[in-house]
Structure 1
Amino acid sequence: MARTRTATIRIKNLRLRTYVGIKEEEVNNRQDVVVNVRLVYDAGRAIQDNDIEAALNYRTITKNIIAYVEDNRFALLERMTREVLGIAMEPQAVLEAEVEIDKPHALRFSDSVSVTLSDRRGED
């Protein structure tokens, strides 16, 4: 019986600019956001075959996240995080994913505010 070997891929500190918020200056001006994504997939075949075609294509996932975040507007950080999580979960190979998005300087005296959401294949 073949053993499942799950791999965790982390996309760290993806710095993007988008419209997020409800105040006039937020609606009219792009702001920095920092996206962190954790992807878990069964890497058994990729490990065994040493074949790029068997590995999860995190570059494509990252490009899709960049395009979506930079080309849209969001009233809430929660909504943006949910949408990015959906992109992370699109490939069927992804068993689970977690997305954290930081909005730097959203609060006075704070480095950032973040929202984290996660999902797992097979859960509703």
Structure 2
Amino acid sequence: MDKIRVQNLRFYTYNGVLPEEKKLGQQIALDLELALPLAKAGQTDNVLDTVSYAEVTAKVQEFVENNQFDLMEALVSGVLDVIGADFGQQLTSALVRVRKYSVPMAGNYDYIEIEMERRFDA
């Protein structure tokens, strides 16, 4: 299946279970992977034959910046809901990864990542 990927969308959010996370906030990054047939768009060179990743990114940005969650799982699920509601008819599936860099737990690591995928009846 053909795919469009948008990598490393960065946001400063106030998501998390702990009060400090909600008060101080932290940086997160999202990856979007959109599966859909792209052969027609490749032949026609017409944006109407694909999904506009600019529009998808704008919708995701609006959602992330205007919502707050305890769990990254809820954030990712909400992003998938937005993608499905607005672009699900064009897509076969969407995969979203979120990375949280400042997690208040012991250990030596770069980030925590959540990945969820949703299939659509295109």
TM-score by length of 2: 0.88
SS at the partner of 1:73?
coil
Aligned match of 2:32: 37
Aligned to 1:25: 20
SS of residue matched to 2:31: strand
Q: Which runs of 5+ in 2 are unaligned?
A: none
Aligned residue-pair number: 117
Percent identity between the two aligned chains? 26
Query: What is the CA distance between 1:8 and its match in structure 2?
Result: 0.5
Q: Which runs of 5+ in 1 are unaligned?
A: 1-5
Aligned to 1:101: 98
One-letter code aligned to 1:93: Q
* More strand, by proportion: 1
Post-superposition, which runs of at least 4 consecutive aligned residues in structure 1 deviate over 6 A? none
- Amino acid in structure 2 at the alignment position of 1:102: R
- Return the alpha-carbon distance in structure 1 between the equivalents of residues 8 and 83 of structure 2: 15
CA distance in structure 2 between the partners assigned to 1:52 and 1:75 by the alignment: 37
* Aligned-CA RMSD value: 1.4
Report how far residue 46 of structure 1 moved.
Answer: 1.1
Indicate if the aligned counterparts of 1:18 and 1:71 stay in contact, CA closer than 8 A: no
